[in-house]
Structure 1
Amino acid sequence: MLLWHIQGFPEMPGQKFGPAWFPGLIAIGLGVCGARLVYAGARRRGPWMTLPEWAHGGRPLAAVASVLGGLGFYIIAADTLGFHFTALLLMALWTRLMGASWRIVVPVAVLAPIVIHLAFYKLLRIPLPWGVLERFAF
C-alpha cells in the first residue's frame, strides 16, 4: 500500500533521489522481512501463536500499552504541544517504564528529541510540528 501511495510524490528538481525514495526503500525492506516471516511460520509445526514467557507479566503489558497509548497521544498532542515537548514526555515515560533511573531518564528525554529533530530537519528535510515553540523557531 505504501509503494502505491508514494507513486504520487512529486519529483524534486536537481535531486538524484526524490521524496519517495526513502519510504519506498523502507516499504520494500518491510515487505521482504514480512514475506520471510510468513514463510518461516508456514514451515513450522505446532500451534500458530504462543505468547513468550516474558509476556505474562504486568510490566511488559504496561510497556506495550504505553507505546500504543503514546502513539495516540502523539497524534493528538503533537500539533498543539509540538514535537519537542511531546517527544520529551513520551521518552521520559518510556525510559522510566523500562526501569531506567531518573539519572538516565532526564538526559535521554531531553537529548533524544533534539537528535531526532535534527535528523528529520537537517538530513531528511522533513519538518516536524513546532507547536508552542513556533514563535521562537522562526
Structure 2
Amino acid sequence: MKNLQQLKLDNQICFPVYALSKEIINRYRPLLDKLDVTYPQYLVLLVLWEHREQSVSQLGEKLYLDSGTLTPLLKRLEQKKLVIRERSKEDERIVKIKLTSEGENLQKIAASVPKQLFEDMKVPQEELMQLKKTIEKILTTLNQ
C-alpha cells in the first residue's frame, strides 16, 4: 500500500516544477507579445545578446533543445529579421546564428522584462536565486 502513496499527485516532485514552469511562461507571454517573440525565441535571443554568435549546436546545448526544435524556431526569428543563419566558411555542416541590427536593438526594449517578471512573482529574490541554484544542480546531474 505504501508504494501506491507515491502515485498521489501531492507526492510528485515533478508536478509543482511543471506547473510553475507553465505559470511563469504564461506570465512572460504579455511581456513578450510586446516584443513579438515567443518564450523559446526569447531564450535564443538571450543567448545571442550575451554571446553575439552561436552555432545551432551551441544554442541547443545551452537551451536543452535539439536541432529539430531549434531549426523552425530560428527560421521564424530570421523571417522576423532578428537573426541571420549562415553556414560556417570553415565547415559547411555548421550553421552559425548571428543577431541582426534589429535583433540587437530589441535587447534595449527587452531589458525591462526580467524586472517585471520578478515583481510579478512577489517572492524575495534570494529565494528565487536559491530555487534556480537547486534546479541547475538537478539539471546538471540529470545531464551527466
- Calculate the TM-score normalised by the size of structure 2: 0.28
Which has more radius of gyration?
A: 1
Q: Whose strand proportion is higher, 1 or 2? A: 2
- Calculate the TM-score normalised by the size of structure 1: 0.29
